[in-house]
C-alpha cells in the first residue's frame, strides 16, 4: 500500500540520489525536473489511494481518453463510436435515451454482478465511450470514472456482456520548484511554472501559520519537492507535495509529508508537529484574493476606523468565508452596524465573529455545528461598510485578540512510537529540499541576497 510505496520511493531515492541533476535555474524562479529513476516500478500498488480525484480534476480536458487507451476501439463502417462526458443532472438511463440506445441493452449491463451497479453511480466529469452497431444496439461500453480507471463492458461471441475493470498507475517523477514572490503568490508561482491548483495546495499546507491574504510580502519565497503524474509520457496532474519550505517575511516554515499508522497522509513540521492547527490564520478563500491582488499596487488591509477590534480583509463580493475552527454557530443574524454576521463559539473560551456578509452559507443557523474550513457565508458590504470586506474578530474569554498573532495551542505531534519512522523518512526529504535550496542559492548568489541567516525557523 502507500506506506510501502513511500518506503520504496525513499529507499530507492538514497541509491539514486547521486543521479539527480539540477537542470535549470533562473534568477528569480526555477522549476527543475528530475526524472526519477525506476519510479514507475515503485508505484505499482494502489495509486487509487495516492491519487485523489481532486488531483486529477480538470485533466479530462487536457488528455483525451483515447490517448491513454492502449487498444483503441476499432471502427468499422457499420459501427458508430461516440463518447459522452457526464453532465450535472445526468444519469445512465438519460444518456442511453439521448443516444437512442435500447433500454434493454442498459438493463443487461446493470444486471452484471459487481460492475453493473457502478453505472448507477456515475458523476459529472466521468466519461462513457460507446460502440454501437447499425441497429443502435450496444456492442461495447467503456466507463471511465477517471483517467486511471476504466470499466469495460463488451459482448462476447455469444452476445453476452462481459465486464472488465482496469486501473492504471501513473508514473511519478519528482520535481523541485521554487519561486520568489514579487507581485502575488499566484502570479509568481505561475512564472515559476506551477499550476494555480498546486500553489493553492502549497498555501493550504501553511495556512494555519501564514495569513496568505495579509502577510505575504514581496521577497517572500518558497522551495518545494512534489510529484508529477504521467500516463504514457503525458502529464496528467500533480501528485503530493513531499516537502516544502516557505519564507514569510522574517519567518521560515518547513513542512514534510508523512503517512501515519492509520493510513492518513499529512504534513508535519521537521519535529513532527502537525501543520494543522485549531484555527486558520485567514478565514476566507484566499485564492480569490491573492490571485487578484498585486503587492506593489494595493494592500487588502483597509484604513482602520477607531476603535477597531478586528481585522478587515478587503475581498471581492461573494468570496467564500470559512469557519476558522470547529465550533457551533451561536448567532447568524443582521444588525444595522454589522450587516449579516455570524458568531461561532469554539469550546468554552474562544469566539470568532464574521461581519458584513452578503449572505449566509447553505444551512447556517444558530445551533449548527461547523467544521474548520467550512463555508459559512460570503463576503459583502452589508451594515456599516463602504466596500466589500470581511471584518473578522477573535475573542479569548471575552477579550479581543489579534487573530494574526494570537498564540494558538500546538497541534498534536506524531505518536512517540512513530517518531523513529518519522525521522527516518522525513530526514531524507528534508535533506533533498536543503540540497536543492543550496543549489538555487549558489546559482543566484551575486543576484538577490537571500538573507537566510536572518530568517527565524518558526516550526522546526
Residue count at the site for Zn ion (CB under 5 A)? 2
Find the residue with minimal CB distance to Zn ion: 391
Q: Show contacts with Zn ion in window 95-114 (CB under 5 A).
A: none
Q: Is 312 in the site for Zn ion (CB under 5 A)?
A: yes
- Tell me the closest approach of the beta carbon of residue 310 to Zn ion, in angstroms: 5
Q: Is 393 in the site for Zn ion (CB under 5 A)?
A: no
- Applying CB under 5 A, the span of 17-25, 209-217, 255-263, 386-394 interacting with Zn ion comes to 386-394
C-alpha cell belonging to residue 60: 479530462
Q: Which is nearer to Zn ion, 233 or 305 (CB)?
A: 305
Q: Which stretch binds Zn ion (CB under 5 A): 7-15, 312-320, 372-380, 400-408?
A: 312-320
**Ranges assigned E (strand) in 281-346:** 311-314, 320-322, 327-335, 339-346
Which C-beta is closer to Zn ion: that of 170 or that of 310? 310
Distance from CA of residue 45 to its chain's centroid? 22
The minimum distance between CB 392 and Zn ion, in angstroms, equals 8
Question: Given the rule CB under 5 A, which of 279-287, 390-398, 402-410, 443-451 is the region that contacts Zn ion?
Answer: 390-398
**Alpha-carbon span 320 to 377, nearest angstrom:** 6
Pairwise CA distance, residues 196 & 366, whole Å: 35
d(CA 400, CA 49) in angstroms, rounded, equals 43
Strands (E), 301-440: 311-314, 320-322, 327-335, 339-346, 350-360, 369-370, 375-379, 389-396, 399-401
Minimum distance from residue 312 beta carbon to Zn ion (Å): 4
Q: Which stretch binds Zn ion (CB under 5 A): 24-32, 46-54, 304-312, 410-418?
A: 304-312
Q: How far is the CB of 356 from Zn ion (least distance, A)?
A: 8
Closer residue to Zn ion in complex, CB, 169/312? 312
Q: Does residue 353 touch Zn ion according to CB under 5 A?
A: no
Is the Cβ of residue 168 or residue 309 nearer to Zn ion in the bound state? 309
Residues in region 279-298 near Zn ion by CB under 5 A: none
Q: How many CB atoms lie within 10 A of CB 199?
A: 24
Which residue, 24 or 306, is less far from Zn ion as judged by CB? 306
What's the rounded Cα separation, in Å, for the pair 440 and 30?
8
Residue 227 · residue 176 · CB < 8 Å: no
Burial 255-284 (b: 16+ CB within 10 A, else e): bbbbbbeeeeebbbbbebbbbbbbbbbbbb
Q: How far is the CB of 308 from Zn ion (least distance, A)?
A: 6
Is residue 391 at the binding interface for Zn ion, with CB under 5 A as the rule? yes
Dihedral sign (CA 437, 438, 439, 442):
positive
Whole-number minimum distance, CB 260 to Zn ion, in Å?
40
Interface residues with Zn ion (CB under 5 A) are 312, 391
Amino acid at each position: 500500500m502507500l506506506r510501502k510505496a513511500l518506503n520504496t520511493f525513499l529507499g530507492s531515492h538514497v541509491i539514486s540520489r547521486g543521479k539527480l541533476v539540477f537542470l535549470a535555474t533562473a534568477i528569480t524562479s526555477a522549476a527543475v525536473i528530475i526524472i526519477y529513476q525506476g519510479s514507475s516500478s515503485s508505484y505499482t500498488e494502489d495509486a487509487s489511494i495516492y491519487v485523489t480525484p481532486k488531483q486529477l480534476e480538470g485533466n479530462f480536458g487536457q488528455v483525451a481518453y483515447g490517448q491513454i487507451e492502449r487498444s483503441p476501439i476499432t471502427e468499422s463502417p457499420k459501427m458508430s463510436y461516440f463518447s459522452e462526458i457526464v453532465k450535472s443532472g445526468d444519469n445512465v438511463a438519460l444518456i442511453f435515451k439521448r443516444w437512442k440506445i435500447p433500454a434493454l441493452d442498459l438493463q443487461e449491463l446493470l444486471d452484471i454482478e459487481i460492475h453493473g451497479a457502478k453505472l448507477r453511480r456515475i458523476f459529472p466529469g466521468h466519461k462513457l465511450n460507446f460502440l454501437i452497431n447499425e441497429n443502435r444496439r450496444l456492442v461495447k461500453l467503456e466507463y471511465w470514472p477517471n483517467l486511471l480507471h476504466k470499466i469495460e463492458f463488451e459482448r462476447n461471441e455469444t452476445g453476452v456482456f462481459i465486464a472488465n475493470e482496469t486501473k492504471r498507475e501513473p508514473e511519478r517523477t519528482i520535481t523541485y520548484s521554487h519561486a520568489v514572490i514579487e507581485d502575488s503568490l499566484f502570479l509568481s508561482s505561475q512564472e515559476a511554472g506551477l499550476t494555480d491548483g498546486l500553489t493553492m495546495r502549497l498555501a493550504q499546507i501553511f495556512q494555519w501559520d501564514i495569513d496568505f491574504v495579509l502577510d505575504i510580502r514581496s521577497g517572500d519565497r518558497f522551495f518545494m519537492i512534489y510529484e508529477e503524474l504521467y500516463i504514457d509520457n503525458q502529464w496528467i496532474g500533480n501528485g503530493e507535495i513531499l516537502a516544502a519550505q516557505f519564507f514569510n517575511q522574517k519567518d521560515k516554515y518547513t513542512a514534510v509529508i508523512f503517512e501515519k499508522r492509520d493510513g492518513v497522509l499529512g504534513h508535519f513540521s521537521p519535529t513532527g508537529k502537525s501543520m494543522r492547527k485549531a484555527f486558520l490564520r485567514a478565514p476566507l478563500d484566499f485564492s480569490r484574493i491573492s490571485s487578484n491582488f498585486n503587492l506593489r499596487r494595493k494592500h487588502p488591509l483597509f484604513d482602520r476606523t477607531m476603535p477597531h477590534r478586528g481585522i478587515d480583509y478587503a475581498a471581492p463580493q461573494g468570496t467564500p468565508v470559512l469557519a476558522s475552527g470547529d465550533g457551533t454557530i451561536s448567532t447568524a443574524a443582521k444588525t444595522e452596524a454589522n450587516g449579516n454576521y455570524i458568531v461561532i463559539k469554539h469550546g468554552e473560551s474562544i469566539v470568532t465573529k464574521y461581519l458584513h456578509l452578503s449572505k449566509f452559507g447553505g444551512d447556517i443557523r444558530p445551533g449548527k455545528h461547523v467544521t474548520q474550513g467550512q463555508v459559512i457565508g460570503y463576503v459583502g458590504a452589508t451594515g456599516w461598510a463602504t466596500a466589500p470586506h470581511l471584518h473578522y474578530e477573535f475573542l479569548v474569554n471575552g477579550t479581543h485578540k489579534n487573530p494574526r498573532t494570537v498564540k494558538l495551542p500546538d497541534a498534536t505531534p506524531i505518536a512517540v512510537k512513530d517518531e523513529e519512522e518519522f525521522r527516518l523518512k522525513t530526514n531524507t526529504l528534508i535533506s533533498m529540499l536543503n540540497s536543492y535550496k543550496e543549489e538555487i542559492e549558489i546559482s543566484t548568489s551575486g543576484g538577490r541576497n537571500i538573507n537566510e541567516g536572518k530568517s527565524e525557523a518558526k516550526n522546526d
